[in-house]
Amino acid sequence: MTYLSHADLGGRPNAERVQPEAEGELFHAGWEPRALAVTLAMGATGSWNIDMSRAARETLPDYASLSYYQIWIGALEKLLAERNLVRPDELQAGRALHPPQPVARVLQADAVPEALAKGSPTERPATAPARFLVGDVVRTRAQRVDHHTRLPGYAHGRHGVIESVQGMHVFADSHAQGLGEQPQWLYRVAFSGTELWGVDAAPGTSVAFDAWESYLEPAA
């Protein structure tokens, strides 16, 4: 395996308390809103898709020691460098030293409200019938894959029940690898606490998440 995600945190041992935060407390340093805005504005250029940016973030070697907006900036610099849009010497100098590369779009100020209101829907017209129905018992893929994926590590090789059929959606795994959208049926699958955590399961708890069809097989 060469692909290593540092972001798959569900169920990992962690003794730290969760620190609640007031509703208005959006940013904790002056650079954070700028980091948010440059990330959104560069995303709007179409130079990469959201799954590629998630892959860039989760593979940062120092992921665990960074704040979330630091992760965003680290990944943004990586995505820019990989595409020769911005080179490291330019970041060092704080000014452009090489000619720009073409980008598909530039988000102008007056177009922001419409762009945000539109978003990037991922549902696609159905091209095949769904393999599973609500109530079907399925088993998740047990083996690891060597690329970005959205099947959490805590739920590999587990039995769950299809709770909702969510339409055909762009497949994150292929989209992140630059292999196109390859839409698949998406399902919300529910798992009992004991199926996921065994004897450690807290009583009266269950987990559900969205899984693309190729993550699932019929329960034997």
Partner 1 sequence: MSHEHHDHEHSELGEMDLRVRALESVLAQKGYIDPAALDVLIDTYQTKIGPRNGARVVARAWADAAYRDWLRRDATAAIASLGYSGRQGEHMVVLENTPQRHHMVVCTLCSCYPWPVLGLPPTWYKSAPYRSRAVKDPRGVLADFGVTLPESTEIRVVDSTAEVRYLVLPMRPASTEGFSEEQLAALVTRDSMIGTGLPLEPAP
Question: Residue 203 or residue 220: which is nearer to partner 1 going by CB?
Answer: 203
Q: Does 146 bind partner 1 (CB under 8 A)?
A: no
Q: Where are the beta strands (DSSP E) in 105-158?
A: 123-124, 137-140
Distance between CA atoms of residues 213 and 157, nearest Å? 14
Question: Residue 197 or residue 220: which is nearer to partner 1 going by CB?
Answer: 197
Distance between CA atoms of residues 167 and 213, nearest Å? 11
The region of 71-79, 128-136, 138-146 touching partner 1 under the rule CB under 8 A is 71-79
Site string for partner 1, 195-214 (x = CB under 8 A): -xx--xxxxxxxxxxxxx--
Give me 174's structure tokens.
Answer: 């292929």
Q: Which helix (H) or strand (E) holds 169?
A: strand 159-169
The region of 117-125, 130-138, 139-147 touching partner 1 under the rule CB under 8 A is 117-125
134-166: b or e for each residue (b if 16 or more CB lie within 10 Å)? Answer: eebebbbbeeeeeebbbbbebbeebbbbbeebe
Residue written as tokens 């088993």? Answer: 139
The region of 37-45, 126-134, 138-146 touching partner 1 under the rule CB under 8 A is 37-45
Nearest distance from C-beta of residue 167 to partner 1, angstroms: 8
Question: Residue 143 or residue 220: which is nearer to partner 1 going by CB?
Answer: 143
The region of 85-93, 128-136, 139-147 touching partner 1 under the rule CB under 8 A is 85-93
Rounded to the nearest angstrom, the gap between the alpha carbon of residue 83 and the centroid of all alpha carbons in its chain is 20
Q: Does 104 bind partner 1 (CB under 8 A)?
A: no
Side chain identity, residue 197? W
Q: Where are the alpha helices (DSSP H) in 4-44?
A: 31-43
Q: Does 165 bind partner 1 (CB under 8 A)?
A: no
For the chain, report the end-to-end CA distance as a whole number of angstroms. Answer: 28
Nearest distance from C-beta of residue 161 to partner 1, angstroms: 12
The region of 23-31, 125-133, 138-146 touching partner 1 under the rule CB under 8 A is 23-31
- Residue among 1, 2, 61, 95 that touches partner 1 (CB under 8 A): 95
Are 80 and 41 spatial neighbours (Cβ–Cβ below 8 Å)?
no
Q: Does 158 bind partner 1 (CB under 8 A)?
A: no
Q: Does 138 bind partner 1 (CB under 8 A)?
A: no
The CA-based angle 173-52-190, given to 5 degrees, is 40
Total of residues contacting partner 1 (CB under 8 A): 98
